[in-house]
Amino acid sequence: MADNRRWWALVVIALAQLMVVLDMTIVNIALPSAQADLNMSDANRQWVITAYTLAFGGLLLLGGRVSDLVGRKTTFLIGLLGFAAASAIGGAASGQGMLFGARALQGVFAALLAPSALSLLATTFTDPKDRGRAFGVFGAIVGAGAAIGLLAGGFLTEYLNWRWCLYVNVPIALIAFVGAVVLLTPGERHPNAHLDVPGALLGSAGMLSLVYGFSEAEPRGWGDGLVLALLIGGVVLLAAFGLWQTRARVPLLPMTVVKDRQRIGAFLTTLLVTVGMFGVFLFLTYYMQGVLGYSPVKTGLAYLPLTAGMIVGSTQVAARLLNRVPPRVLLVPGLLLAAGALALIAQVGVEPAYASHVLPGMIMLGLGMGTAMMTSVSLATGSVAPQDAGAASATFNTAQQVGGSIGTALLNTVAASVTSSYLVAHAGPGVDRQALRAEAAVHGFNVATWWAMGALLLAALIAGVVVDAPRAPTPQPAPAAPEPVESPAG
């Protein structure tokens, strides 16, 4: 592909990936308005978020293998059109069931779209220098997409309507579709990438069970029978999936993808990073709106320093150094900087602390996360065989989804239990109940943020011990076709 054509192709791929990532958070700020408009109960409102993450996280491995089987450009185009249609249905929802169904359908097509996008990126940019720049842009989008979603959700909800948080995907998807038709080369179909049906059933069921279990842990509690059954069942199903993959003729997830030391380090690091990141997004949003009294738009604008830090960390730090230094030299300092940011944010109180704690913390978090996420993306997709690029990309996206689900459920539960304990311990005659509730909520957020910092420190430890490559890997070229051999008869 010509050089300028490749960079325009990057714009198309990045646009599609941004749409998928920001849809995990864009409806968060719009949720109160949607709940009131569609008469959702407090118990059911979580399904606006959970229906998307369940379908997305549960079907990613299957989507990655389908992209290898059918062709990445084909699945990319199908994913874009399906995502646009599902978004239009959700925006026009007349009841909560219709909205939940549309969000689940978005997740199904996102599971096709996300692995295809990352695979196309990995196979389009093979030159180390250009690859670093391209992955810098992609890493910035992966890291900053959630914050951009909060900003967009705030503006759309305040100045238009909550439905536009879904409608906005339609023009984005159609623009990306036209660009993909014009710019992307036809996706290669790999004859050996057969669909492993037993593996697809075991892997998807295991992921769905785990993601659903973590999503139900916050409202039900970790000791609830359904939550325990889902989590244990998910682990058993995934263990069976792993055993089957060692015996399948053409496995859904080839062992070469997960046996590589660098990719294992990238997958584990990504999972732990998103555990901390998604939980903190949730707490900061509640802190700024509930404690500081920010409007949806002001809350979204308050995240801009984080987004800027992500972009600088990905495109100006990691992209420039990735091919010059060992990957862990970028991963470990980036994760430690992000952990330090959370230590700063975890010290906020009920008094305004945006300028003193949140703002510098966001800048540090953005720089650290942008550097680490871009490096992880490169490690996860580098040196993988072309026929397994979809599976590797899907595994990276799965690590993100599972990490986000675990982080939201685990840290939410920690914050809720700490808040309840604080209220019980400090309640008494003459105590201002409203002030006490604010203090208890902030204390719960702070404790949960310390836990998120622990996840980032563990990620830094894993990155330092497991990732040992001297340089970032480069993708394997597609095998050349064999020369025709003439028969003796000519």
The tens place of each residue's pLDDT in the chain, 490 residues long, gives 556 677 788 888 888 888 887 777 777 777 778 888 888 876 577 678 778 877 887 787 788 778 777 777 888 899 999 999 999 999 998 888 899 999 999 989 988 888 888 777 777 776 666 766 777 777 667 666 766 777 788 788 878 888 998 998 999 899 989 988 887 776 565 555 567 778 878 888 887 788 778 777 767 777 889 989 999 999 999 899 888 888 877 777 777 777 778 888 888 998 898 888 876 777 787 788 778 888 878 877 888 888 888 888 887 888 788 778 888 899 999 999 999 999 999 998 888 888 889 999 999 998 998 888 888 888 877 766 666 666 777 778 778 777 877 777 778 778 888 888 888 888 777 777 888 888 888 898 899 899 999 999 999 999 999 988 877 665 555 444 444 444 444 3
Backbone φ and ψ for 476, nearest 5 degrees, come out as: -75, 140
Nearest by Cα to 404 from 301, 295, 277 = 277
Q: Is 39 left (phi over 0), alpha (psi -120 to 50) or beta?
A: left
* pLDDT given for residue 240 in this prediction: 93
Token pair 């359908």: residue: 105
* pLDDT given for residue 62 in this prediction: 80
Burial bucket for residue 484 (CB in 10 Å: 0-12, 13-18, 19+): exposed
Backbone φ and ψ for 401, nearest 5 degrees, come out as: -65, -45
> What is the rounded distance in angstroms from the CA atom of residue 474 to the CA atom of residue 490?
41
208: Cβ contacts below 8 Å, ≥ 6 apart: 54, 57, 58, 59, 234
* pLDDT given for residue 105 in this prediction: 93
> Are 377 and 142 spatial neighbours (Cβ–Cβ below 8 Å)?
yes
* pLDDT given for residue 232 in this prediction: 94
Token representation of residue 383: 């040196």
> What is the rounded distance in angstroms from the CA atom of residue 364 to the CA atom of residue 335?
10
Distances (CA, A) of 477 to 190, 368, 480: 13, 32, 8
405: Cβ contacts below 8 Å, ≥ 6 apart: 53, 57, 210, 211, 214, 215
> What is the rounded distance in angstroms from the CA atom of residue 291 to the CA atom of residue 440?
11
* pLDDT given for residue 487 in this prediction: 40
Q: How many CB atoms lie within 10 A of CB 160?
A: 12
Q: Encode burial over 215-240: b for 16+ CB neighbours within 10 A, e otherwise.
A: bbbbbbebeeeebeebbebbeebbeb
> Are 440 and 323 spatial neighbours (Cβ–Cβ below 8 Å)?
no
